[in-house]
Every structure is written in C-alpha cells, then in structure tokens.
C-alpha cells in the first residue's frame, strides 16, 4: 500500500507546527497572565499565621500579616485579593449579626489593605452569612429551611458595611434569589455607584468546598446539613445560564462559575452565551487535590498549577480565583525572565 493512501498524509501533518518551541508559541491560542489571577486569603483575629490542615501551604493570616500579603500581591502584579474571615466561634450566632458589624474582621482587613495599597490592588468581599452563622448556612434559617427574602435584607446590610470599609467588589456567594438587584439598589441608594458586583451566579452545591469550610470554621457547625436548597445541583447546565441572565439583568458587573475544573463546560457556556467578564473559582477542594498529589510526588506541582489555570482561559474565563495565585504569579514571572 502506498503511503499516499493513508489519510491525508503527508500533506496534513499537525505535528509540523508543534516541532519547535518558537512555533508552538507562535500558534498559541490562549495565554495565562498574572493579570488573570485573584488571590483568596483567609484572615483571623490575632497575630501570626495559622496553617489549615486540609489546605497544605495555605495559612490563615493574622492582622500583622496583612501588610506583607499586600506587598506580595502588589509586587507580583496580582490585580485583586478576596478576603474570607475565620470568625471566632463566640461571635457566631443564628442571625449572623457579626456579618453586619462595620468593625468586623473583614471590614478591618479591608481598611488595612486599602491603607497599604490604595487603588493599586482591588479588594473583593464575599457576601454570605456562613462565616458568621452558628449553623454554618449562608442565610437565616427558619424551620430548618434557609429563608430567602429576610436573608437578602441582611445581605444588603453586609454589602453596605463592606463597601463603607472600602471594598471595591462585592461578591455575593449566597445564591439567594433576587439578591443582586437588592444589593445593587442598596449600593446605589448609599451613593456607592462605582462599587462593582461580581456575582457567584452559577454556584453549585459541591463537595469540593470542604477545606474552605475548615478554613473559616463553618464545617463543624454545618455538620451533615447541605446547601442543596439554594446552591445548584451538579447536573444542571441550562439552569446556570438562567441564573447568569437574571444576575446580569439585576445589575451584576461580572459573573462567576464555581467550582472550577469540574465545571469548565459551564464556564464555556456562560462566556459564549453572554460575552461578559466571566470568572471561575478554582475552589479549596481543587487546590487540596492537586496539592496532595504534588506533595506525594505524584504530580509535578508547578506544571499542574499552570496547566490547570490555562485550561480556565481556554474555556473562556477572563480570570481565576485560585489559592495558587501567588505561586502561579511567581512561575509566570520566572518563565518570562528566562
Ligand atoms: C461562602 C463560600 C464558600 C466558598 C466561597 N464562599 C463555601 C460554601 O458555599 O459552602 C467556597 C470556596 C472554596 O471552597 O474555596 N458561601
């Protein structure tokens, strides 16, 4: 048999453009840059650093560590940081009142970051009650059910104290209905017209959040209870588009899909359907999974970090929240200076 009969060989050989590094770079369709990274940090009321067992390599930061974190983010060129509080358990109540305390841990941290960095670093605050509630749910609970409209009222107040502290981006992660419109309205009424809303629009009831709940100390409180009456079921896809459509109509500036890697199909659909700034959250369980394997020597840590983040870009994400942000930024800078 002549070799000309084998498919389209030799005229079509996709390996030609893969032959050399310069050529692979030349045809590259997607790129990861430091500008794509958002760094989530955990803070606690105290000094020093506290390791988080299920997130090896990630520490809760005391108030004396904030300035250094800001310095790290700014010197690497990371555009934004997202703050999550480990609220002391004695401050957790069924009504999550600490969430609306203008002097709570998050608000104090925002002020500190803004003092250090001004407008050179964006600050993102999560809006949801779980780090403050004694039951670990994202909203107020009545008869074992998370109630929507009363929760939204508290979320509006939470957003306002965060905006007052200097937060640039309000990020509601609670999945209550109507909260984006209500929060937008509250911000407008308070004259906070330029505070952005990054909506966790398509957020799934996922088991990949486990280590995060350890980090903010909500897992023990939540116990066996689930968040399935408000977060989306993992099999849903069209429903994610419905959520995004509503949040955009209600005034979201940017939208997020969460978790990340197992939900790249959703990232792709959201970006291609709406064409708005779309973010993905490589959540705590994804970090834990990759880190654990890398720590065992089963995966090449640096390579899987960069590959996993590039995959988000390929799927259509404009940026990624990732606990690897600092490491990834260092790797990207090192690659550039080679
Ligand atoms: C709070 C919130 C969660 C995460 C971000 N914001 C936990 C949850 O919904 O239970 C998870 C992030 C992560 O796992 O890294 N509503």
pLDDT tens for 99-108 read 999 999 999 9
- Residues lining ligand 1, judged by CB closer than 6 Å? 126, 128, 130, 138, 173-174, 209, 212-213, 227, 283-284
What are the tens digits of pLDDT across the range 238-271? 999 999 999 999 999 999 999 999 999 999 999 9
> Which tokens in the block code for residue 97?
């009142």
pLDDT of residue 3 exceeding 70? no
User: Which residues make up each annotated binding site for Mg(2+)?
Assistant: 243
Residues sharing a CB contact under 8 Å with residue 173, sequence separation 6 or more, in sequence order: 126, 127, 128, 138, 200, 203, 258
Three-state DSSP class for residue 203:
strand
pLDDT mean over 173-197: 98
- Domain of 147, in residue numbers: 31-222+236-336
150: CATH? 3.20.20.70
Catalytically active residues are 203, 258
Mean pLDDT of the chain: 96
Number of domains in the chain: 1
Residues above pLDDT 90, as percent of the chain: 92
Pocket test for ligand 1, best of 92, 158, 173 (most atoms within 8 A of CB): 173
Q: What are phi and psi of 24, to 5 degrees?
A: -60, -40
Residue 196, beta-bridge partner list: 169
Q: Which atom of ligand 1 is nearest to the CA of 282?
A: 15
**Residue labelled with tokens 């260092």:** 330
Looking from the CA of 159 toward its CB, the CA atoms found within 13 Å total 33
With 80 as the cut, is the pLDDT of residue 4 above it? no
Give the mean pLDDT of 126-148.
97
Q: Give the atom of ligand 1 at the shortest distance from the alpha carbon of 126.
A: 6
Neighbours of 232 (CB within 10 A): 23
Average pLDDT estimate for 72-97: 97
- Cβ atoms 264, 313 nearer than 8 A: no
Note the ipTM here.
0.97
Instruction: Tell me whether residue 229 is in a domain.
Output: no
Q: Classify residue 11: in a domain, yes or no.
A: no
Predicted pLDDT at 143: 95
Please check whether residue 12 lies inside any domain of the structure: no
Does residue 98 contact residue 58 with C-beta atoms inside 8 Å? no
User: How many angstroms separate the alpha carbon of residue 143 from the centre of ligand 1?
Assistant: 23
Q: How far does Cα 52 stand from its chain's mean position?
A: 18
Q: What are phi and psi of 15, to 5 degrees?
A: -70, -15
Judge whether residue 2 has pLDDT over 80: no
Lowest mean pLDDT among 6-20, 112-126, 250-264: 6-20
pLDDT of 9 over the 80 cut: no
Q: What is the C-alpha to C-alpha distance for residues 295 and 53, in angstroms, rounded to an integer?
A: 13
What are the φ and ψ backbone dihedral angles of 120, each rounded to 5 degrees? Answer: -85, -5
For 202-231, what is the mean pLDDT?
Answer: 92
Indicate which atom in ligand 1 lies nearest the CA of residue 211.
14
Q: Would you place residue 5 in the very low, low, confident or very high pLDDT band (cuts 50, 70, 90)?
A: low
- How much is the average pLDDT of 176-201? 98
DSSP letter string, 82-146: EEEEE--GGG-BTT-GGGG-TTSHHHHHHHHHHHHHGGGSEEEEEE-STTTBTT--SS-EETTEE
Residue 55 CA to residue 221 CA, distance in Å, equals: 19
Per the model's pLDDT, the better-predicted residue between 224 and 177 turns out to be: 177
For residues 176-198, average pLDDT: 98
What does the alpha-carbon distance between residue 305 and residue 40 come to, in Å, rounded to a whole number? Answer: 16
Query: Has residue 20 got a pLDDT over 70?
Result: yes
Instruction: Please tell me the predicted confidence (pLDDT) of residue 117.
Output: 97
Residue 21 belongs to some domain of the structure: no
Distance (Å, whole) CA 147 – CA 156: 15
Contact predicate 242/213, CB 8 Å: no
Give per-residue pLDDT as tens, 152-169. Answer: 999 999 999 999 999 999
User: Is the model's pLDDT at 70 over the cut of 60?
Assistant: yes
Q: What is the pLDDT of residues 289-310, one digit of tens each?
A: 999 999 999 999 999 999 999 9
* Burial class of residue 16, CB neighbours in 10 A (0-12, 13-18, 19+): exposed
């Amino acid at each position: 048999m002549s070799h000309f009969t084998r498919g389209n060989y030799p005229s079509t050989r996709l390996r030609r453009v893969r032959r050399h590094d310069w050529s692979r770079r030349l045809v590259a369709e997607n790129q990861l840059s430091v500008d794509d990274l958002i760094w989530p940090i955990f803070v606690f009321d105290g000094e020093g650093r506290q390791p988080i067992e299920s997130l090896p390599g990630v520490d809760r930061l005391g108030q004396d560590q904030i300035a250094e974190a800001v310095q790290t983010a700014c010197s690497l060129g990371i555009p934004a940081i997202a703050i999550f509080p480990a609220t002391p358990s004695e401050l957790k109540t069924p009504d999550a009142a600490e969430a609306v305390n203008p002097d709570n841990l998050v608000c104090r941290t925002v002020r500190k970051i803004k003092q250090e960095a001004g407008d050179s670093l964006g600050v993102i605050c999560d809006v949801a009650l779980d780090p403050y509630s004694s039951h670990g749910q994202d909203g107020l609970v009545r008869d074992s059910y998370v109630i929507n409209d009363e929760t939204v009222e508290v979320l509006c107040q939470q957003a306002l104290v965060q905006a007052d502290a200097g937060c640039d981006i309000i990020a509601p992660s609670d999945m209550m209905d109507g909260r984006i419109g209500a929060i937008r309205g509250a911000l407008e009424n308070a004259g906070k017209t330029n505070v952005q809303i990054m909506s966790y629009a398509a957020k799934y009831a996922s088991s990949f959040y486990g280590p995060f709940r350890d980090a903010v100390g909500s897992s023990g409180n939540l116990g066996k209870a689930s968040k399935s009456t408000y977060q989306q079921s993992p099999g849903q896809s069209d429903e994610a588009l419905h959520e995004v459509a509503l949040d955009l109509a209600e005034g979201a500036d940017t939208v997020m899909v969460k978790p990340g890697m197992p939900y790249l199909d959703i990232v792709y659909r959201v970006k291609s359907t709406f064409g708005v700034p779309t973010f993905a959250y490589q959540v705590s369980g994804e970090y834990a999974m990759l880190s654990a394997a890398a720590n065992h020597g089963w995966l090449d840590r640096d390579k899987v970090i960069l590959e996993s983040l590039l995959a988000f870009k390929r799927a259509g994400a404009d940026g990624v929240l990732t606990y690897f942000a600092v490491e990834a930024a260092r790797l990207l800078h090192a690659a550039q200076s080679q």
